[in-house]
Structure 1
Amino acid sequence: MFATWGRLVYRLRFAVIGAMVGLMLALGAYGLGLENNLSQSGWDDPGSESVAAAKLADGTFGRDTVADVIPVYTAPEGKTVDDPAFGAKITKSLDELAANNPDEILKINASYWSTKIALMADPSKEHAFASVAIKGDNDTEVAANFKKVRDEFYIDGVDVQLTGLQPVTGTLNDTMANDVHRMEILAIPAVGVLLFFIFGGVVAAALPLIVGGLTIIAANGVVKLITHFTEVNAFVVPVVSLIGLGLAIDYGLFMVSRFREEIAEGYSTGDAVRRTVMTAGRTVIFSATMIVASLGGLLIFPQGFLKSVAYGAIAAVILAAVISVTVLPAILAILGRRVDALGLSFMRKTKTTDEIENSVWGRLTQWVMKHPLKVTIPIVIGLLLLTIPISNIKFGGINETYLPRTTRPASRRASSTSCSPTPGPSRSSWCSTAPRARRSPRSSRRPTGRPVWSRSSRSTTRPRTE
Structure 2
Amino acid sequence: MFVAVCFVGGNMAGTVEASNSDAAIGESGRADVIVADGHFDNPATESVLITAASGALDKALAERAAADVTAAMKALPEVADVSPPLPSHDNSALLVRVTMKGDPDTAQERIGPLHAATDAVQSRHPDLRIEETGGPSISQAMDDTLGQDFKRAEILSLPVTFAILIVAFGALIAAGVPVLLALSSVAAALGLSTLASHLVPSTDTTASVILLIGMAVGVDYSLFYLRREREERAKGRAHLDAVEIAAETSGHAVVVSGIAVTIAMAGLFLAGDVVFSSLAVGSILVVLVAVLGSLTVLPALLAKLGRWIDRPRVPLLWRLTRPRAAGAPSRVWSFILRPAIRRPAITLAVSVLALLALAAPAISMRLSFPGMEDLPRTTPAMQAYDRLVKAYPSNGTVHTVAVRVPDGQRAAVEQQLTLLATKAASDPLFAPLDEAPDITFSADGKVAVLDVATPFAGRSDQAKESLTRLRTQLVPQTIGQVPGASVAVGGFVGADVDYADHVKTKLPVVMGFVLVLTFLVMAFTFRSVVVALTSIALNMLSAAASYGLVVLIFQGTWAEGILGFTSMDAVVSWLPLFLFVVLFGLSMDYHVFVVSRIREAVAQGMPTREAVAHGITGSAGVVTSAAIVMVGVFSIFATLSTIDMKQLGVGLAAAILLDATIIRAVVLPSLMTLLGNANWWAPRFMRPRRPAAHRAEVIEGELISAGR
- Normalised by the length of structure 2, the TM-score is 0.48
What is the aligned partner in structure 2 of residue 423 from structure 1? 438
Residues 74 and 128 in structure 1, CA contact (< 8 A), matched pair in contact too: yes
Matches within 5 A, 1:251-290: 251-290=221-260
Separation in 2 of the partners of 1:174 and 1:433? 28
Letter in 1 for 2:115: Y
Q: Secondary structure at the match of 1:233?
A: coil
Q: Which has the larger radius of gyration?
A: 2
Name 1:455's counterpart in structure 2: none
CA distance in 1, matches of 2:330, 2:370: 54
Matched, 1:307 2:280: no
Equivalent residue, structure 2, for 1:220:
190
1:347 aligns with 2:320: yes
2:74 to 71, 88, 92: 92
1:311 shift after superposition: 1.8
Shift, 1:403, TM fit: 2.9
Cα distance between partner residues in 2 of 1:174 and 1:33: 30
Matched residues in 1 for 2:312 and 2:21: separation?
A: 49
Which protein has greater RCO, CA pairs closer than 8 Å, 6+ apart? 1
| Residues 79 and 101 in structure 2, CA contact (< 8 A), matched pair in contact too | no
Distance 1:254 1:430 in 2: 56
CA distance in 1, matches of 2:141, 2:18: 13
Which residue of structure 1 lines up, in the alignment, with residue 86 of structure 2? Answer: 117
Count residues in correspondence: 392
After superposition, the CA RMSD in angstroms is 4.2
Equivalent-residue separation in structure 2 for 1:40 and 1:380 (angstroms): 43
Where is the helix percentage greater, Structure 1 or Structure 2? Answer: 2
1:359–1:451 distance in 2 versus 1, CA, 3 Å: closer
SS class of match (2:47): strand
Return closer, same or farther for 1:168/1:83 CA change in 2, 3 Å cut-off.
closer
Contact 1:240 1:313 in 2 (8 A): yes
With normalisation by structure 1, the TM-score equals 0.69
Contact preservation (8 Å) 2:172, 2:312:
yes
Residue number in structure 2 paired with 1:163 = 134
Secondary structure of the 1:246 match is: helix
Are residues 1:51 and 2:51 paired? Answer: no
Give the superposition deviation at 1:63.
4.6
Question: 1:292 maps to what in 2?
Answer: 262
Tell me, what secondary structure is at the counterpart of 1:428? strand
SS at match of 1:429: strand
Work out the CA distance in 1 between the residues paired with 2:181 and 2:266.
23
1:155 CA displacement = 3.8
Structure 1 position 385, deviation (Å) = 4.2
> Which of 352, 356, 361 lines up with 1:380 in the alignment?
352
Q: Identify if the C-alpha distance between structure 1 residues 198 and 432 changes in structure 2 by more than 3 Å, giving closer, same or farther.
A: same
Inter-CA distance 311–23: structure 2 relative to 1 (3 Å threshold): same
Give runs of aligned pairs for residues 75-154 of structure 1, distance below 5 A: 79-80=61-62, 82-83=64-65, 85-89=67-71, 91-92=73-74, 96-97=77-78, 113-114=83-84, 116-119=85-88, 123-125=91-93, 128-130=95-97, 132=99, 143=105, 145-146=106-107, 149-151=110-112, 153-154=114-115
Q: d(CA) in 1 for partners of 2:349 and 2:143?
A: 41
Partner SS, residue 196 of structure 2: helix
Aligned mates of 1:363, 1:176 — CA distance in 2: 45
| Cα offset, 1:310, TM superposition | 1.0
1:229–1:277 Cα change, 3 Å: same
1:400 aligned residue (372, 389, 412): 372
Question: CA separation in 1, counterparts of 2:140 and 2:254?
Answer: 38
TM superposition shift of 1:285 = 1.3
Cα 1:342–1:47 shift into 2, 3 Å: closer
SS at match of 2:450: coil
State the alpha-carbon separation in 2 of the partners of residues 54 and 167 from structure 1: 24
Kept in 2, the 8 Å contact 1:420–1:429? The answer is no
Unaligned runs of 5+ in 1: 1-21, 100-107, 137-141, 436-448, 453-466
Secondary structure class of the residue paired with 2:319: coil
| Partner amino acid, structure 2, of 1:48 | G
Q: Is it true that 1:71 corresponds to 2:38 in the alignment? A: no
The secondary structure found in structure 2 opposite 1:346 is helix
Rounded Cα–Cα distance in structure 1 between residues aligned with 2:17 and 2:384: 25
1:209 to 179, 197, 200: 179
**Correspondence for 1:6:** none
Following the alignment from structure 2 to structure 1, what is the Cα–Cα distance between the partners of residues 218 and 87? 58
Give the match's secondary structure for 1:195. Answer: helix
Does residue 23 of the first structure (1) align with residue 27 of the second (2)?
A: no
76-85 or 376-385, which deviates more:
76-85
> Kindly tell me: are residues 276 and 264 of structure 1, through their superposed partners in 2, closer, same or farther at Cα, counting changes over 3 Å?
same
CA drift at 1:208:
1.4
User: Structure 1 pair 154/173, CA: closer, same or farther in 2 (3 Å)?
Assistant: closer
Give the counterpart letter for 2:95 in structure 1: A
**Residue 168 to residue 327, structure 1, CA distance change in 2 (3 Å):** farther
